[in-house]
């Protein structure tokens, strides 16, 4: 009886296997889209596994290369330190450029042009002991000083200058000193 059951069991398993195989064969015959999709999916999974393997190998080679390049040190850290220092230098350069720009703007208001004329204010004094001195900035703004010398006294007068002229009446010597200053462009002109 046990043999009979075993035979019966084997027959049932054969039949189930045959039914299962027939079902698969029917699906393959009837539904080709599903079969193509299954094959493509299997190929994609295999390709994905191959790519992971290659990426892992490449990552190991990259780390070894960086260690050799850095003489045993991690060159990635060296590069990060270098980049930090470069960014710091860039910030400092920007600060310096802004500072220089401010200095350039301030310099336009500093005395840059000087003109001087010596003359004899009075006929009874010998030599040219009187003078006119013009001190101007880049925009021809500043002051003209007139020092008048005589035997009894010496006086100095100042007049503001804006755009090369003054709101006060200027003498011929003062006008000449202002013109020399305008023409000087940083060189002191004395006559």
Domain boundaries, the chain: 74-106, 113-190
Percent of the chain with pLDDT over 70: 80
List, for residues 109-133, the tens digit of each pLDDT value: 888 899 999 998 887 667 888 999 9
- Listed residue (124, 142, 125) closest to 133, CA to CA: 142
> In terms of pTM, does the model score above 0.75?
no
Helix (H, G, I), strand (E, B) or coil at 153: coil
**H-state helical runs in the chain:** 2-30, 32-69, 75-107, 172-184
> What pLDDT, on a 0 to 100 scale, did the predictor assign at position 15?
64
**Cα Dmax for the chain:** 162
- Listed residue (190, 178, 80) closest to 136, CA to CA: 178
**Mean pLDDT of the 30-36 span:** 71
The model's confidence at residue 71, banded by pLDDT at 50, 70 and 90, is low
């Amino acid at each position: 009886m046990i043999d009979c059951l075993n035979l019966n069991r084997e027959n049932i398993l054969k039949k189930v296997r045959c039914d299962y195989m027939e079902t698969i064969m029917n699906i393959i015959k009837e539904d080709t889209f599903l079969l193509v999709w299954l094959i493509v999916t299997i190929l994609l999974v295999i390709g994905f596994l191959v790519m992971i393997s290659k990426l892992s190998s490449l990552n190991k080679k990259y780390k070894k290369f960086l260690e050799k390049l850095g003489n045993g040190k991690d060159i990635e850290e060296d590069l990060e330190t270098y980049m930090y220092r470069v960014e710091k230098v860039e910030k400092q350069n920007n600060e310096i450029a802004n500072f220089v720009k401010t200095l350039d703007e301030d310099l336009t208001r500093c005395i840059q042009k000087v003109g001087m004329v010596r003359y004899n204010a009075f006929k009874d004094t010998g030599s040219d002991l009187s003078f006119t001195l013009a001190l101007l900035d880049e925009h021809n703004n500043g002051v003209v000083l007139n020092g008048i010398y005589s035997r009894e006294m010496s006086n100095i007068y100042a007049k503001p200058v804006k755009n090369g002229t003054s709101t006060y009446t200027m003498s011929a010597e003062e006008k000449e000193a202002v013109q020399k200053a305008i023409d000087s462009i940083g060189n002191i002109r004395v006559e």
